[in-house]
């Protein structure tokens, strides 16, 4: 089974405002609430692919119960640790007129170290050498940035394959544990190396450095409408972006991570993994908020994915 870890989940409140203006009264044209957090979004797309995952993490207050109730309703197995406080609500403002997406994210509640240890125990007690574990997203502000590094190392000792999708120090420190795969976007890579990435060759050079230095087996770099790079030792593939109507970019990277995890779990070939990952990421931007796409849409997009080998 695939395990997704979400230490800082959220209710995603997506608000659509035509011609959104700062310092002005704005009228909402539509709104929706979704159970969110990057790991939860991954589990949602895995479900769309008819795969199985188990979502573990932290839940607090009424918002936490909303998320747990949603997971139970759609038959995503979940095992969350309940804590005091209130799970955060993240606001996503989408302006179809000006084609902008604005995120306003809360920090989320702090967590007791005993509760954090409980989540770790739930994780490690349920994995083995057939497991794929996805570590993604932010963590509560009082949780040490070393948490993903430590947990990835522990999961690897169990034989599990680990996927990391994080930013900043969480990403930087976790690389030291040599995750099986990482899925940064181009901006996260720029922040990690404190340099501008201007070309595909620049991105490949950084990915190869990560592979050689940290013994990461696969690096997937999402680049929005420009597509994605799939890089492993001595093999560099550029998958071209697909032109579709964009409703919301929120969760597109999570959908791609879901496809990567599902492909590993199912033993897909490198080429089939590329097609599914690009299709899932593209399909996600065609939906509102973090609503998962349909399997039919994903399968249609898979047929349109093209790529090239970069020398």
Q: What is the pLDDT of residues 137-151, one digit of tens each?
A: 999 999 999 999 999
Q: What is the pLDDT of residues 163-208, one digit of tens each?
A: 999 999 999 999 999 999 999 999 999 999 999 999 999 999 999 9
Cα–Cα nearest to 151, from 124, 176, 183: 124
Assess contact for 164 and 152: CB atoms under 8 A: yes
Higher per-residue pLDDT: 148 or 107? 148
Q: What is the pLDDT of residues 213-249, one digit of tens each?
A: 999 999 999 998 899 999 999 899 999 999 999 888 8
Token pair, residue 2, equals 């695939």
Q: What is the pLDDT of residues 14-27, one digit of tens each?
A: 999 999 999 999 99
Assess contact for 221 and 228: CB atoms under 8 A: yes
Q: What is the pLDDT of residue 292?
A: 86
- Mean pLDDT, the chain, rounded, equals 95
Q: Cβ contacts of residue 127 below 8 Å, gap of 6+?
A: 3, 133, 155, 158, 160
In the chain the domains, ranked by start, together with CATH numbers, are 2-21+29-309 (3.40.1190.20)
Q: Cβ contacts of residue 64 below 8 Å, gap of 6+?
A: 9, 58, 80, 82, 83, 86, 87
How do beta strands 235-239 and 307-309 pair?
A: antiparallel
pLDDT category, 42, cuts 50, 70, 90? very high
Q: What is the pLDDT of residue 301?
A: 97
Q: What is the pLDDT of residue 133?
A: 98
Q: Evaluate if residue 277 carries a pLDDT over 90.
A: yes
Which residues are catalytic, by number?
254
Q: What is the pLDDT of residue 234?
A: 86
pLDDT category, 291, cuts 50, 70, 90? confident
Token pair, residue 135, equals 């570590």
Q: Tell me which H or E stretch contains 151.
A: helix 147-157
Q: What is the pLDDT of residue 148?
A: 98
State what percent of residues in the chain have pLDDT above 90. 91
C-alpha span between 303 and 175 (Å, rounded): 34
Kindly report the pTM of this predicted structure. 0.94
Q: Cβ contacts of residue 272 below 8 Å, gap of 6+?
A: 263
Q: Evaluate if residue 154 carries a pLDDT over 90.
A: yes
Q: Tell me which H or E stretch contains 230.
A: strand 228-232
Higher per-residue pLDDT: 271 or 291? 271
Q: What is the pLDDT of residue 101?
A: 86
Q: Evaluate if residue 289 carries a pLDDT over 90.
A: no
């Amino acid at each position: 089974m695939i395990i997704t870890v979400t230490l800082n989940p959220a209710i995603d409140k997506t608000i659509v405002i035509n011609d959104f203006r700062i310092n002005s009264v704005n009228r909402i044209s539509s709104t929706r609430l979704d159970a969110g957090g990057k790991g939860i979004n991954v589990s949602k797309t895995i479900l769309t692919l008819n795969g199985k995952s188990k979502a573990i993490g932290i839940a607090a207050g009424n918002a936490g119960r909303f998320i747990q109730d949603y997971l139970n309703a759609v038959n995503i197995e979940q095992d969350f640790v309940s804590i005091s406080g209130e799970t955060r609500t993240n606001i996503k403002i989408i302006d179809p007129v000006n084609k902008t997406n604005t995120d306003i994210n809360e920090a989320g509640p702090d967590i007791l170290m005993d509760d954090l240890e409980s989540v770790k125990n739930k994780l490690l007690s349920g994995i083995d050498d057939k497991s794929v574990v996805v570590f993604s997203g932010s963590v509560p502000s009082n949780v040490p940035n070393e948490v993903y590094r430590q947990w990835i190392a522990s999961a690897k000792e169990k034989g599990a394959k680990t996927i990391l999708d994080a930013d900043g120090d969480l990403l930087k420190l976790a690389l030291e544990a040599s995750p099986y795969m990482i899925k940064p976007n181009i901006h996260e890579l720029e922040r990690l190396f404190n340099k501008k990435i201007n070309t595909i060759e620049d991105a490949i050079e950084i990915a190869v450095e990560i592979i050689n230095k940290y013994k990461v087996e696969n690096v997937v770099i999402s680049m929005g409408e420009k597509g994605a790079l799939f890089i492993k030792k001595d093999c560099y593939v550029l998958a071209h972006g697909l032109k579709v109507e964009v409703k919301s970019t929120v969760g597109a990277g999570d959908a791609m991570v879901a496809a990567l995890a599902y492909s590993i779990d199912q033993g897909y070939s490198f080429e089939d993994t590329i097609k599914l990952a690009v299709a899932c990421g593209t399909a996600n931007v065609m939906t509102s908020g973090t609503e998962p796409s349909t399997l039919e849409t994903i399968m249609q997009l898979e047929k349109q994915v093209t790529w090239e080998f970069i020398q």
